[in-house]
C-alpha cells in the first residue's frame, strides 16, 4: 500500500501533515469511529481524501455546504482524483442517471447533502456501493445544542446502520463539550477515537472594541499594515456602502451572495493573487478558501454566535505568523441580532400560510411534489399573495434548513406557452410546415398536458431530448406564435425549489414548528453568550473563548492587561464594593457610566460586577444596565 505521506506529496505538494491529520487518517484506516476537531484551516478534507486513495472502494462524504462540495470536486478532478457530487440533476438527466454513473465509473469520493440521504431510493442505491468510509463534514450540525442544527443530519444514523462495518469520521472546527457529546449519540459512534486540536491560536490577537465610530476604528486598523485583510459586514447593503467609503484610499472589493458567478470568481481571484488587498464581505466569505497570509479579520458588528466568531476569525494567520482579529460593537448591535436571528423563526400561522401559498403558486397538488424541481419569480410570488418579502424569504430558508426542500437563488429565463387552437387545427397547420411536425410531436410527448393549460417549458431540456438546437426551437415556436397558433410569454425566474417531500400539510409542518420553538430558545442563549463575551471587559478574551469550548488556559495569555491575566490594579476593593452598592441602590447603571462616575480603575469595576453577577447578586436589565437582584 502506498504511504499517506507519498500521496500527500504527490497530489497536494506538502512534505508533512498538519497537526492531528496523520492520527485521524490512521484511525479511520484501522476501521475505528473517529471524531476530528480541527480548527478552521486545519485541513479537515485531507482526513478523508487520503484514505480514499489508500483503499479500494468509495468514501462517502456528507456535507451541508453545497458550494464547498462543488469546489472540492473541481479541485480533486484537477488532481486526477475521480470524485462526484450527487446534486440536482441538470435538464435531460435524472437522479437515476447520476447513480448509474456511480455503478460504472471509477469514483473514489462521492459528496452529497444530508437531505439526499432522506430519499429512500438514493439510500437504497448507496448501500450497494463499496463504501469503506462514511465522512460527515460540519458534523456539529447534527446537534440541537449547536448554532447550525439541520434535522436532515439525523438521517445519517439510520443510513449508517445499513452499512456493513463501515467506520464513521465526524469532522468539525467548533464544538462545545455539550455538542461533542450530542454528536456521539446522534451519529451512534462506537467507542470513538477523539483527536482534538487546541482551540487556542497563540499567533492570533483578539481585539473587542465598543465604539459608535466603527468606520473610524476600521481606518485606524487598516493603516497599521498593507497586508491582506477581510472585513465582515452583516448585510449585502453594508458591504457595498463600506466599499464606497474605502475605495478612494485602498485597493478593495466587495463580495456577497448577490453577485453572479463570474463576478465572484473574478473578485476572489484578484484577492487571492493580492491585486486586491481588502475584501469587504458578508459572513459566509472565506469558507473553503485557503489563503494563509491574511493578517487581519475585522468584524464591523458581532456575528450570530461565538462558534461563528471563532470560525471567521480563524481565517487570519493560518501561516502561523502574527495576526489580529478585531470586532467592533455597540449596544444596538445586539438589538439588531435579536431582530435578525430571533425574528427569523416564523410563527406557526405565518409558516402555514406561506406553505399553502407556495404550493398553490407552483401547482403542487396534495401528495405530490417529491423530488420535483420548480422555478419561480420571488417578487412576483410575494406581490401576488400580498406577502412580506422579508418574512417570505425567512420561511423559504427555514424550510430549506429543515430539509423540506433545497432552495437556490438562481436566475433562469423560461417561457410559458399556451396553445390557441386544438390538436386537429394544429395538425392542419403542421401540414404546411413539414419540418416542424417532429418537433411539435416531441413537445407534446415531453409536456402531455400542454394543449389543456399554460405550460412553462425548458429550452435546455427540449434541446437535450430532441436533438435540435435551442436557437431552432425558439425559431419554430416564434413562427407558431406569429401565425396565431400559440402564445409565448417570457418569464424571468430567480428562485429554484427542489422539493424533497410530498405536500402533506398540516402534518409535515407540525414537527418543524415544534423544532423551531426549541431552536429559538437555543439561539437566544447563543446571543446572550456572545453579549457576555463582548461586554466582559475585565476578562481575557482568549480565556473566555477557550472556556466556551471547554478548554482552559493556565496563566497569562501574554496579550492583554485583563484582570484575569494577572494585571489587577492595586486598589481598595472593599471601598469600591461599598461605593458600587450605594450607586446600584439608587438606580440601574451601565458599566460605562459606573466607570465614568466612580474613582476606580475600569478593570476592577468590571471585575467586581462580574463577580457579583456570577453569584446572582446583580443582574442586567433589557437596557444592559446593572441592578441589584430583588430578594
Domain locations in the chain?
4-196, 204-329, 348-511, 519-628
The β-bridge partners of 279 are 230, 253
Give per-residue pLDDT as tens, 259-275: 887 888 899 999 999 99
CB 18 within 8 A of CB 5: no
Residue 561 has pLDDT above 60, yes or no: no
State the pLDDT at residue 566.
53
What is the 3-state composition of the chain as percent helix, strand, coil, each rounded to the nearest 5?
45, 15, 40
Any idea which architecture 4-196 has in CATH?
Answer: 3-Layer(aba) Sandwich (3.40)
State the pLDDT at residue 570.
60
State the pLDDT at residue 433.
62
Report residue 523's pLDDT band, with 50, 70 and 90 as the boundaries.
Answer: confident
For 67, the grid coordinates are 458550494
State the pLDDT at residue 208.
92
State the pLDDT at residue 538.
67
State the pLDDT at residue 140.
92
CA distances from 318 to 195, 204, 289, 291, 324 (A): 20, 9, 11, 8, 11
**H or E, element range at 7:** helix 4-7
Between the two ends of the chain, the Cα-to-Cα distance in Å is 71
Return d(Cα 361, Cα 347) in angstroms, integer: 21
**H or E, element range at 604:** helix 602-614
State the pLDDT at residue 515.
84
State the pLDDT at residue 568.
54
For 464, the grid coordinates are 437535450
State the pLDDT at residue 435.
65
Give per-residue pLDDT as tens, 126-152: 998 999 999 999 999 998 777 778 888
State the pLDDT at residue 613.
81
Give the dihedral sign, CA 86/90/96/99: negative
Residue 282 has pLDDT above 60, yes or no: yes
- Going by C-beta distance under 8 Å and a sequence separation of 6 or more, which residues neighbour residue 160? 134, 166, 168, 187, 188
Section 443-458 average pLDDT: 79
For 461, the grid coordinates are 431540456
Section 77-101 average pLDDT: 76
Return d(Cα 307, Cα 526) in angstroms, integer: 9
Give per-residue pLDDT as tens, 351-375: 999 999 999 999 888 888 887 888 8
CA-nearest of 6, 5, 57, 7 to 31 is 57
- Going by C-beta distance under 8 Å and a sequence separation of 6 or more, which residues neighbour residue 11? 53, 79, 81
State the pLDDT at residue 474.
86
Greatest mean pLDDT among 15-29, 141-155, 487-501 lies in 15-29
State the pLDDT at residue 185.
92
379 phi/psi in degrees, rounded to 5: -65, -40
- Going by C-beta distance under 8 Å and a sequence separation of 6 or more, which residues neighbour residue 512? 351, 398, 399, 402, 404
Return d(Cα 458, Cα 464) in angstroms, integer: 10
Residue 630 has pLDDT above 80, yes or no: no
**Local structure of residue 286 (DSSP, 8 states):** T
Residue 166 has pLDDT above 70, yes or no: yes
Section 444-455 average pLDDT: 79
Distance from chain centroid for Cα 458 = 30
Residue 620 has pLDDT above 80, yes or no: yes
Section 518-535 average pLDDT: 87
Give the chain's largest Cα–Cα span. Answer: 103
Return d(Cα 490, Cα 558) in angstroms, integer: 64
Section 421-450 average pLDDT: 75
- Residues of the chain with pLDDT > 70, as a percent, come to 93
Give per-residue pLDDT as tens, 190-214: 999 999 988 999 899 999 999 989 9
For 252, the grid coordinates are 478593495
Average pLDDT, the chain: 86
212 phi/psi in degrees, rounded to 5: -100, -5
CB 33 within 8 A of CB 168: yes
State the pLDDT at residue 597.
84
Q: Do domains 4-196 and 204-329 have the same CATH topology?
A: yes
CB 371 within 8 A of CB 119: yes
Residue 289 has pLDDT above 80, yes or no: no
Residue 619 has pLDDT above 80, yes or no: yes
Residue whose entry in the numeric block shows the C-alpha cell 420571488: 378
State the pLDDT at residue 386.
93
State the pLDDT at residue 191.
93
Greatest mean pLDDT among 114-123, 316-325, 528-537 lies in 316-325
Any idea which architecture 204-329 has in CATH?
Answer: 3-Layer(aba) Sandwich (3.40)
Give per-residue pLDDT as tens, 212-268: 899 999 999 999 889 999 999 999 999 999 999 999 999 999 999 888 878 888 999
Residue 36 has pLDDT above 90, yes or no: yes
- Going by C-beta distance under 8 Å and a sequence separation of 6 or more, which residues neighbour residue 379? 389, 494
Report residue 564's pLDDT band, with 50, 70 and 90 as the boundaries.
Answer: low
State the pLDDT at residue 27.
96
Amino acid at each position: 500500500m502506498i504511504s499517506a505521506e507519498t500521496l500527500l506529496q504527490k497530489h497536494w505538494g506538502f512534505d508533512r501533515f498538519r497537526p492531528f491529520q496523520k492520527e485521524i487518517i490512521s484511525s479511520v484506516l484501522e476501521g475505528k469511529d473517529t471524531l476530528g476537531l480541527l480548527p478552521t484551516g486545519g485541513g479537515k478534507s485531507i482526513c478523508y481524501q487520503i484514505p480514499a486513495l489508500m483503499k479500494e472502494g468509495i468514501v462517502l462524504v456528507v456535507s451541508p455546504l453545497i458550494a464547498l462540495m462543488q469546489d472540492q470536486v473541481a479541485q480533486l478532478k484537477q488532481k486526477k482524483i475521480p470524485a462526484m457530487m450527487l446534486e440536482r440533476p441538470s435538464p435531460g438527466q435524472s437522479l437515476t442517471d447520476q447513480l448509474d454513473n456511480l455503478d460504472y465509473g471509477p469514483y473514489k469520493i462521492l459528496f452529497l447533502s444530508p437531505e439526499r440521504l432522506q430519499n429512500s431510493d438514493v439510500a437504497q442505491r448507496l448501500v450497494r456501493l463499496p463504501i469503506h468510509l462514511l465522512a460527515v463534514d460540519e458534523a456539529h450540525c447534527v446537534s440541537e445544542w449547536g448554532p447550525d442544527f439541520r434535522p436532515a443530519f439525523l438521517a445519517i444514523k439510520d443510513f449508517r446502520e445499513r452499512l456493513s462495518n463501515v467506520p464513521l469520521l465526524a469532522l468539525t472546527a467548533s464544538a462545545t463539550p455539550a455538542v461533542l457529546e450530542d454528536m456521539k449519540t446522534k451519529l451512534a459512534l462506537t467507542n470513538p477515537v477523539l483527536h482534538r486540536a487546541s482551540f487556542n491560536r497563540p499567533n492570533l490577537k483578539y481585539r473587542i472594541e465598543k465604539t459608535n465610530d466603527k468606520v473610524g476604528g476600521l481606518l485606524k486598523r487598516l493603516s497599521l499594515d498593507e497586508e491582506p485583510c477581510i472585513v465582515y459586514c452583516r448585510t449585502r447593503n453594508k458591504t457595498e456602502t463600506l466599499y464606497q467609503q474605502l475605495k478612494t484610499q485602498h485597493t478593495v472589493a466587495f463580495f456577497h451572495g448577490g453577485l453572479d458567478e463570474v463576478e465572484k470568481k473574478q473578485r476572489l481571484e484578484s484577492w487571492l493573487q493580492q491585486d486586491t488587498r481588502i475584501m469587504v464581505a458578508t459572513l459566509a466569505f472565506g469558507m473553503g478558501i485557503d489563503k494563509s497570509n491574511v493578517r487581519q479579520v475585522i468584524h464591523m458588528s458581532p456575528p450570530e454566535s461565538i462558534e461563528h466568531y471563532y470560525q471567521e476569525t480563524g481565517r487570519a494567520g493560518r501561516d502561523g505568523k502574527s495576526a489580529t482579529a478585531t470586532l467592533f460593537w455597540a449596544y444596538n448591535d445586539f438589538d439588531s441580532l435579536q431582530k435578525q436571528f430571533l425574528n427569523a423563526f416564523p410563527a406557526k400561522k405565518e409558516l402555514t400560510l406561506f406553505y399553502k401559498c407556495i404550493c398553490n403558486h407552483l401547482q403542487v397538488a396534495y401528495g405530490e411534489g417529491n423530488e420535483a424541481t420548480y422555478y419561480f419569480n420571488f417578487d412576483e410570488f410575494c406581490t401576488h399573495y400580498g406577502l412580506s418579502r422579508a418574512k417570505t424569504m425567512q420561511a423559504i430558508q427555514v424550510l430549506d434548513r429543515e430539509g423540506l426542500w433545497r432552495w437556490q437563488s438562481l436566475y433562469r429565463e423560461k417561457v410559458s406557452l399556451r396553445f390557441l387552437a386544438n390538436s386537429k387545427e394544429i395538425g392542419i397547420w403542421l401540414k404546411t410546415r413539414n419540418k416542424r411536425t417532429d418537433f411539435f410531436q416531441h413537445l407534446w410527448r415531453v409536456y402531455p398536458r400542454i394543449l389543456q393549460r399554460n405550460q412553462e417549458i425548458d429550452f435546455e431540456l427540449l434541446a437535450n431530448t430532441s436533438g435540435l438546437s435551442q436557437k431552432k426551437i425558439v425559431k419554430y415556436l416564434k413562427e407558431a406564435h406569429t401565425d396565431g397558433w400559440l402564445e409565448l410569454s417570457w418569464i424571468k425566474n430567480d428562485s429554484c425549489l427542489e422539493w424533497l417531500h410530498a405536500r402533506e400539510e398540516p402534518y409535515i409542518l407540525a414537527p418543524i414548528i415544534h423544532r423551531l420553538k426549541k431552536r429559538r430558545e437555543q439561539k437566544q442563549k447563543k446571543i446572550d453568550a456572545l453579549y457576555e463575551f463582548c461586554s466582559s471587559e475585565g476578562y481575557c478574551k482568549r480565556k473566555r473563548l477557550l472556556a466556551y469550548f471547554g478548554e482552559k488556559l493556565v496563566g497569562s495569555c501574554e496579550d492583554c492587561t485583563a484582570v484575569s491575566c494577572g494585571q489587577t490594579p492595586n486598589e481598595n476593593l472593599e471601598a469600591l464594593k461599598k461605593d458600587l452598592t450605594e450607586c446600584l441602590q439608587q438606580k440601574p447603571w451601565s458599566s460605562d457610566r459606573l466607570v465614568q462616575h466612580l474613582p476606580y480603575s475600569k478593570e476592577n469595576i468590571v471585575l467586581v460586577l462580574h463577580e457579583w453577577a456570577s453569584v446572582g447578586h446583580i443582574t442586567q436589565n433589557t437596557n444592559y444596565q446593572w441592578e441589584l437582584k430583588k430578594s
